[in-house]
Amino acid sequence: MPPSEESSAWATLTRAPALDIPTLSKALEIFGSAQGITAASDASRERAGLSAAAREFLSSATAASNSAERAWLENPRHHVVPFTDPRYPVLLRATEPYPMALYVVGAVDALNEPQLAIVGSRNPTPQGLDTAHELSEYLAGRGLAITSGLASGIDSAAHRGALAAQGITLAVLGSGIDVIYPRSNRPLRLEIQQQGALISGFPLGTPPRRENFPQRNGIIAGLSLGTLVVEAARSSGSLITARQAVSCGREVFAIPGSIYSPLSRGCHELIRQGAKLTETAHDILSELNFSSFFEGQPLASARRDITASLELGMDKDHKILLDALGFDPADLDVLVVRTGFKPEAVSSMMLILELEGHVQAAPGGRYSRVVRSRR
């Protein structure tokens, strides 16, 4: 299918320098369409208020669609969704600034699904990865679409969790939508465009420049009802996404962690600034009043106490022992003191807990708790 001339014209406009939404809106009123703008004379574009830089670009040979752009636009799964399009996401349009058009690969309908952004460190702890995956899987399974930035680490875990739940996930890029970055996420990209959408506010071919990421983060925050930060160092880009969520009036959620973990610092900072301290998926669902989206299912059933679910059906003494172990390694003597159980009992129960994958033995007869059995 040949690309529509209107889509081609929008692709051209996204490449034009110094063209803002107010100017564009005025020009659209005058010329009737994007194609009308690109086909107009320089003099009439000047009268319509376009800047010299924009006019110079539109009059040059580079304004015309190149062959790569035409080829991209020909694919029926590829879309350019301008801000004037009813499919343009309503929540994003409520933010300032919003991109004049979104490049989309996959399900355009996903843009207006109720979304939660899940973002965080590119170098998270294994626990952080699990948390992102679990929460995303659970929430996507309840009908909330999961939006993130396709970066390695927390972002990827969030996308994967949603995919695992057969839910919808949206990945917003800091490059042109045709630029494969990060390369390691190529298989994940392919899955996401089957089960959701890849999105970019940048023209085709835009490299993943550092300065693109704040805008990318603004789209993530703007698309979403709220933003959850799973793990973030103090200088993490995720904090920018969170601040953008605040500035467009959306909820921010942050997961606390050990005061000894540098990857909890950013989340703790957010909580101090008013982000909702989040322990369970329920904290998110209740804050977003999301129960209305899946009527008939009581909100109480959305409650997810992660530890409780893990320890469901566990023998009471085993539970006491596991609680006594805590979250750092301890030896059997310490556990005997903490529980008041006989040494033989502790020893045999620890063996069972080890076999069941709840604890693991470490050198020197010490045991550590295995928080998640599944990765």
Question: Any idea what DSSP says for residue 284?
Answer: H
* Token couple for 96: 């300032």
Count of residues engaged in binding a second copy, rule: CB under 8 A:
43
Both tokens assigned to 266: 């950013």
- DSSP H/E element including 368: strand 366-369
DSSP string, 14-27: HH-SS--HHHHHHH
The rounded distance, in Å, linking the Cα atoms of 41 and 176 is 29
- How many Å apart are CA 24 and CA 39, to the nearest integer? 14
**Smallest distance, a second copy to C-beta of residue 259, A:** 5
Considering only residues 303 through 342, tell me which ones interact with a second copy, judged by CB under 8 A: 306-307, 323-324, 326-330, 334, 338
Q: How far is the CB of 115 from a second copy (least distance, A)?
A: 22
> Of 63 and 334, which CB lies nearer to a second copy in the complex structure?
334
For a second copy, the binding residues in 106-125 under the rule CB under 8 A are: 123-125
Q: Enumerate residues 246-305 that contact a second copy by CB under 8 A.
A: 255-265, 268, 271-272, 276-280
- Sign of the C-alpha dihedral computed for residues 91, 96, 100 and 106 taken in this order: negative
Q: Which residue matches tokens 């994940």?
A: 188
Q: Which residue has the tokens 């010490």?
A: 366
| CB nearer to a second copy: pick between 90 and 351 | 351
Determine if 363 is a binding residue for a second copy (CB under 8 A): yes
Query: Which residue, 215 or 339, is less far from a second copy as judged by CB?
Result: 339
Between residues 110 and 135, which has the closer beta carbon with respect to a second copy?
135
Residue choice 53, 109, 361, 365 for contact with a second copy (CB under 8 A): 361
Residue 371 binding a second copy, by CB under 8 A: yes
Residues 206-245: x/- map of binding to a second copy (CB under 8 A)? ----------------------------------------
Question: What is the residue-wise DSSP string for 186-236?
Answer: HHHHHHHHHHEEEEESSPTT----GGGHHHHHHHHHHHSSEEEE-S--TT-
Stretch that binds a second copy, among 85-93, 142-150, 240-248, 360-368 (CB under 8 A): 360-368
Check residue 32 for interaction with a second copy (CB under 8 A): no
| Residue with Cβ nearer a second copy (238 or 264) | 264
To a second copy, the closest distance from the beta carbon of 322 in angstroms equals: 10
User: Following DSSP, what letter does each residue of 155-189 receive, concatenated?
Assistant: HHHHHHHHHHTT--EEEEESS-TTS--SGGGHHHH
Least distance (Å) from a second copy to the CB of residue 169?
22
3-state SS, residue 50: coil
Type of residue numbered 144? L
**Residues within the interface to a second copy (CB under 8 A):** 123-128, 131, 255-265, 268, 271-272, 276-280, 306-307, 323-324, 326-330, 334, 338, 360-363, 368, 371
